[in-house]
Structure 1
């Protein structure tokens, strides 16, 4: 069993994109129960509003209004007219992370990293191009600053010429490759957005699928979807109870010099205990996260 399987466990069940050009939405976010807020300077902001959005986000994040929520800022790409200024501005903020759009290779990460001071926020990479997905493992290994990967299924669908289907079958290869890369390197990973805000059942099924695949949470485009994402990516009461039973039974067995134990007719080994400890730590972290 790992010496610290619960290390760095942080709830990321719901990650809401908020346009940096919308002061009202940025203010409302103070009252929302999202685990992660992604303040967006890229896709959600029109070209003519980019500079105003940057100034607004700098002012808002500097005031630290979001309590225990994880605050990320998605910048524009460095190959755009706004990217370098975005990076300089965000690097000096008390944010938790900088989200890099359309990462295609580890060299994209190295280019950003080279421009950052030592005390800059962590990095997150958007996985939203075919090349980026095929380079997922090298991207995930590219920097000690890297905290996680975020699926960008909307842009990916365009490049793949793939349809958005209820079962998301066209995306399973990309989702799986990025998930494997994240888990192989100890990174967090967030699932892509569900675009149809009128399709409550489809959104719920997408969240359940993402949780079953192993994602840490879901990226969102509207506050009304936060509660569903939080519920789907939270451990159930039954899961928590079973995890406690597994941990207690294994500890008792170890005191007796045994390396394995049977719980409810199933063999429990150290690997099962490690996952149980992680689940309990996540449950505790969810309980401890308070709205601002």
Structure 2
């Protein structure tokens, strides 16, 4: 599914069971708020969180997009989540641990919302292209914590061991013209580490970063944005282009580069 909306540079997960976090989200400079009904919510608080998510989506978050992450199909909460989201004003539904096109299609049909599929298992990575091709899928989100566990990477080993998986997710998104959102960074007191991982994610081709704390928003937004130098170069390239292959600032450009420059400016 090709989505006409610009991909979010920042997507903040927050527990739907935390009313203070929900209230604060409406004041943050984040592109997408994801109200979580899954891992962030205790089993005995699922029903309350579900009602709170629907209420919050109804109030809205101003210009920010809103998504609700449901419990997976193996959960006893799954069907209740789908029924509630179908009646909600959420912009998107987020499916955790997506592993098949059929599952993604079923969720989209059940709730009628554009779907963001989390790719966070080895099987999900192998099926990512088929999942991304499903009508109704608007984007793929890398679930790096579960993916690292599923790949049996040593704790603290970084992301080198999942580089092929991450690139596969980006390839699947690009092949289907849907969003590609990078996984979360767990360190809450490591801004340099976050900035480094965001830069790496952008170099891999991700559109933006999923986040777990408001303090991460500005760093991710800057990393997935464009520097003043990039913006100036893009504007100059567009102004200089006359059509066909030509020389610009010591490099060859053609129509593809003009389109890239325009796309970069569109995201600002």
TM-score band w.r.t. shorter chain: over 0.9
Partner deviation per Cα, 1:233-268 (whole Å, 9 max, x = no partner): 111111111111111112xx24xxxx2221112111
CA contact (8 A) 1:100 1:125 kept: yes
Query: Could you say if the C-alpha distance between residues 196 and 164 of structure 1 is closer, same or farther in structure 2, counting changes exceeding 3 Å?
Result: farther
Q: Distance in 2 between matches of 1:164 and 1:227?
A: 27
The offset of 1:108, in angstroms, is 1.0
Q: Distance in 2 between matches of 1:121 and 1:93?
A: 10
Corresponding residue for residue 256 of structure 2: 271
Partner deviation per Cα, 1:32-65 (whole Å, 9 max, x = no partner): 111111110001001000000001111111122x
Corresponding residue for residue 112 of structure 1: 107
Corresponding residue for residue 43 of structure 2: 47
The offset of 1:9, in angstroms, is 5.0
Q: Distance in 2 between matches of 1:111 and 1:242?
A: 45
Question: Which residues in structure 2 correspond to 1:225-236 (within 5 Å)?
Answer: 225-236=216-227
Query: Could you say if the C-alpha distance between residues 73 and 145 of structure 1 is closer, same or farther in structure 2, counting changes exceeding 3 Å?
Result: same
TM-score scaled by structure 2?
0.95
Partner deviation per Cα, 1:108-141 (whole Å, 9 max, x = no partner): 112223423xxx3211100001100011111111
Query: Could you say if the C-alpha distance between residues 277 and 165 of structure 1 is closer, same or farther in structure 2, counting changes exceeding 3 Å?
Result: farther
Corresponding residue for residue 76 of structure 1: 71
Helix, strand or coil for the counterpart of 2:267?
A: helix
Corresponding residue for residue 154 of structure 1: 145
Corresponding residue for residue 20 of structure 2: 24
Helix, strand or coil for the counterpart of 2:46?
A: helix
Q: Distance in 2 between matches of 1:166 and 1:13?
A: 26
Provide the alpha-carbon RMSD of the alignment. 1.4
User: In the comparison of the two structures, how many residue pairs are matched?
Assistant: 266
Question: Which residues in structure 2 correspond to 1:1-16 (within 5 Å)?
Answer: 8-16=4-12
The offset of 1:198, in angstroms, is 2.1
Corresponding residue for residue 199 of structure 2: 208
Helix, strand or coil for the counterpart of 1:262?
A: strand
Helix, strand or coil for the counterpart of 2:73?
A: coil
CA contact (8 A) 2:105 2:136 kept: no
Alignment pair present for 1:133 and 2:125:
yes
* Gapped regions of structure 1 (runs ≥ 5): 1-6, 284-292
Helix, strand or coil for the counterpart of 2:34?
A: strand
Higher-RCO chain (CA-CA 8 Å, sequence separation at least 6): 1
Helix, strand or coil for the counterpart of 2:186?
A: coil
Query: Could you say if the C-alpha distance between residues 92 and 236 of structure 1 is closer, same or farther in structure 2, counting changes exceeding 3 Å?
Result: same
The offset of 1:167, in angstroms, is 5.1
CA contact (8 A) 1:133 1:178 kept: yes
* Gapped regions of structure 2 (runs ≥ 5): none
Q: Distance in 2 between matches of 1:160 and 1:166?
A: 12
